[in-house]
Amino acid sequence: MSSGRVAYILTAFPTVSETFVEGEFRALSQRGLPIDLYATRNFREIIADADEEEDRGLEVRRSPYLFGAKILTAATFFLFRRPRRTLGTLVRILMGNLRSPRYLGHALALLPKSLAFAREMERRGTRHVHGTWAHYPATAAYIVSRLLGITYSFAGHAGLDVVADQTFLAAKLRGARFVLTCHHSTRGCLERLAPECASKIHTIYHGVTISEIPAPGSVPRAAPPEIVSVGRLTPEKGFLDLLGACALLRDRGHSFRARIFGQGPQRPALERKIKRLRLGSFVSLEGIVPHRRILEILASATVVTLPSYLHPNMYRDGIANVLVEAMACGTPVVSTDYDGSRELLKGGSLGILVPEKDVEQLAAAFEAMLRDPEKRAAFSIQGRKRVENEFDRQRNVEVIFTLFRQALMESAENGRPVALSDSLTG
């Protein structure tokens, strides 16, 4: 591996909703890529007792306090040693985010944190910085890149960071050395925004580590049949619609249990609806459990579902990792019909797709799965094969490894940080 380090900028760590990011940088580290982790928020979503103290066995450099000594020291250093570069970056951040007060506020809050990160990265010999999302982590990577004169990249996922608000996104695309996306509709969205950047945008599925997944048939199926869903408890995940479909199944005489895993602001509303529909003996909200246990639950489920939809805030799932994991376990899936799930399920040939927010059709899909073991068996075999062929993390991460290696090799050949140019200014 070439000299120099790669910095991964995360929103927070550990978080249940970003286990795919952790899987990616762990796989890259195992291949010898020297990675340092930086978190822009001092937030931990506790998954197991040891997480808070040990960060899952990893060293994470966290955002310092806005008015702390680290930020003041870093700001003084860059303002006095590199005033034009520092002030120029500030102007670009201001001008690039003016049309969105929300993004402008976040960008201004990120700037001092990024100064502190940049100082630490320079000390550690960082030669490339990667933002794990296209919104705030990518902005932080952009800032660090300009301050240090090194290359950067970022990943774009779905509605939250690519579609909801595209402020400053085109500039970040133009400046990046490469951009990763996890499905083709996101890539298409980015290409439309900056057509000249199409050649640097790569679609690479997050995937799963096959060896960590319970083999199909190795975990006994639950009795009575279980419908399982996993995700942050927010409106766009469609859990209220799932409860409506469960009420229809109960009224039609089906014996089943629905289990919803995750936490989030919608939990009180879900609890109220469970009570109002008298679903207490059919549906349970089970909070957060360790990922290894989630895999066992997915393997024992009769069907796994995520009935998400496009929320007015434009938040949208991409290819939902829980559906990929379920298919790897040999468990059939039911999903709403949107770009990400349509790509994963090959237009409905590998699982059942239903219209968004259509409770009746969702219930009918569950009925079809519960009543037809042959259909479930066919989806189980086909789904597992799909994951093995195209969602094997160990295979897919090789492409990402090559992109990082090329960036580090270019930096090493130059013998110094990459000079700032128009390609880095956006």
DSSP 290-309: -HHHHHHHHHH-SEEEE---
What is the CATH class of 210-390?
A: alpha beta
pLDDT band at 323 (very low <50, low <70, confident <90, very high): very high
pLDDT band at 419 (very low <50, low <70, confident <90, very high): very low
pLDDT band at 46 (very low <50, low <70, confident <90, very high): low
Q: Provide the 10 A C-beta neighbour count for residue 159.
A: 22
pLDDT at 420 over 70: no
**310 by DSSP, 3-state: which?**
coil
Domains 5-207+392-425 and 210-390 share a fold: yes
Superfamily, domain 5-207+392-425: Glycogen Phosphorylase B; (3.40.50.2000)
Please choose, from the candidates 145, 79, 139, the residue with its C-alpha nearest in 3D space to the C-alpha of residue 107: 139
Percent of the chain with pLDDT over 70: 92
Structure-model confidence comparison of residues 47 and 353, the more confident one: 353
Instruction: Give Dmax (Cα) for the chain.
Output: 73
Q: Provide the 10 A C-beta neighbour count for residue 66.
A: 11
**Residue 267 C-alpha from the chain's centroid:** 21
**Mean pLDDT, rounded, for 112-131:** 96
Q: Provide the 10 A C-beta neighbour count for residue 199.
A: 8
Query: What are the residue ranges spanned by the domains of the chain?
Result: 5-207+392-425, 210-390
β-strand partners of 152 = 129
pLDDT band at 228 (very low <50, low <70, confident <90, very high): very high
**152 by DSSP, 3-state: which?**
strand
Structure-model confidence comparison of residues 113 and 313, the more confident one: 113
pLDDT at site 45: 67
* Backbone angles phi and psi of 128, in degrees to 5: -155, 140
Please list, in sequence order, all residues whose beta carbon lies within 8 angstroms of the beta carbon of residue 33, skipping any fewer than 6 positions away. 1, 6, 401, 404, 405
Distance, in Å, from the CA atom of 127 to the CA atom of 152, rounded to the nearest integer, reads 9
For 124-133, what is each residue's pLDDT tens digit?
Answer: 999 999 999 9
For 248-306, what is each residue's pLDDT tens digit?
Answer: 999 999 999 999 999 999 999 999 999 999 999 999 999 999 889 999 999 999 999 99
Please choose, from the candidates 172, 170, 206, 175, the residue with its C-alpha nearest in 3D space to the C-alpha of residue 191: 170
